[in-house]
Amino acid sequence: MATLGNPQNTIAVLQKYNFNFQKKFGQNFLIDTRVLERIIAAAGVTKEDFVLEIGPGIGTMTQYLCENAREVAAVEIDKNLIPILADTLSDYDNVEVINNDILKVDINKLAEERNGGKPIKVVANLPYYITTPIIMGLFESHVPIDSITIMVQKEVADRMQVGPGTKEYGALSLAVQYYAKPEIVANVPPNCFMPRPKVGSAVIRLTRHKEVPVQVEDEKMMFRIIRASFNQRRKTLANGLNNASDIPLSKEKIAQAIQELGVSASIRGEALSLEQFAKLSNIIKNMLK
């Protein structure tokens, strides 16, 4: 089978199957072999690895993964792509295509069955609208993951690695940095895709921390606080927390918690670091006891 990283081959496959791009799945297929090689290199895929690929599309990156990994499980939501994948991956016996929504796949079970419970590598080319739920889902479910190497919209990649006080900083930045070390490994212009997206993309590698960088008593509580403080960005931290139905504290208690943290009563959530959110979460947790 011809490699799909070449635009002519991609066009030939799409024509053969009369494939229509689905807007709802945010489909953009990579047509640049150099970018594919960068992704494989960044993910550090070797013959020892079991790789989970999210959104294989027509199998462009999957072919590269099959060449480099011990085994690949590719999860594709669009059933129209399943016959195409059967064709484009017919040369490989180390791949399984799973027609499902990644958010419904039991990844723990996959890791257990295919990798003896050892951490797996995740590689994906993700559509914009689903990036955050997928990444959060992978991290929050405590699936054994070594790293996640993903192609996302450039602004989303930027958001994952910025610190407090910047416009892009938000719940996604904090969540990613709590679980992993983010590193942008390549910027990818629109002409590397078919169809061409309107914006640039980037490949970012999230390497899972061996140990989380802050001590927090209740992870779920911390993320509730983080979400509440970014829900209405223009509001103060106190107002954000007061308006959150899942943080059952009076106005006075919230003011007291912010004072205990040692910051100004009028501070906004976007000014707090991960350490400060962890500390605030521990203070609030103790108040609820």
- Write down which residue in 181, 208, 235 finishes a domain: 208
Find the domain containing 240 and state its range: 219-288
**CA distance readout (Å), 197 to 14, 30, 131, 194, 201:** 18, 11, 16, 8, 9
- Write down which residue in 185, 208, 231 finishes a domain: 208
Q: Which of 174, 155, 191 is nearest to 32 (CA)?
A: 191
Query: If you average pLDDT over residues 94-103, what whole number do you get?
Result: 96
121 and 189 together in one domain: yes
Total number of domains in the chain: 2
255 and 200 together in one domain: no
159 and 273 together in one domain: no
Q: Which domain CATH number covers 232?
A: 1.10.8.100
**CA distance readout (Å), 144 to 52, 60, 115, 220, 273:** 12, 26, 10, 19, 26
- Write down which residue in 160, 183, 208 finishes a domain: 208
The answer to whether 69 and 51 have CB atoms below 8 angstroms apart is yes
For residue range 273-283, list pLDDT tens digits in order: 999 999 999 99
**CA distance readout (Å), 51 to 46, 66, 107, 124, 188:** 10, 9, 11, 10, 22
Of residues 253 and 22, the one with the higher pLDDT is 253
Question: Is residue 47 a part of any domain in this protein?
Answer: yes
**Structure token pair of residue 104:** 């419904």
For residue range 247-264, list pLDDT tens digits in order: 989 999 999 999 999 999
Question: Is residue 151 a part of any domain in this protein?
Answer: yes
**Structure token pair of residue 75:** 């999860």
- Angle of helix 171-179 versus helix 219-231 axis, rounded to 10: 160
Neighbouring-strand partners of residue 98 = 75
195 and 256 together in one domain: no
What is the average pLDDT value for the chain, to the nearest integer? 91
Reported confidence tier of residue 26, pLDDT bands at 50, 70, 90: low
The predicted structure's pLDDT at residue 39? 93
pLDDT at 120 over 90: yes
CA–CA separation, 161 vs 174, rounded Å? 9
CA–CA separation, 73 vs 261, rounded Å? 45
**pTM for the full model?**
0.88
33 and 167 together in one domain: yes
Reported confidence tier of residue 123, pLDDT bands at 50, 70, 90: very high
Cβ burial of 231 (10 Å; 0-12, 13-18, 19+) is middle
CA–CA separation, 285 vs 289, rounded Å? 7
Identify the top-confidence range among 17-21, 193-197, 223-227.
223-227
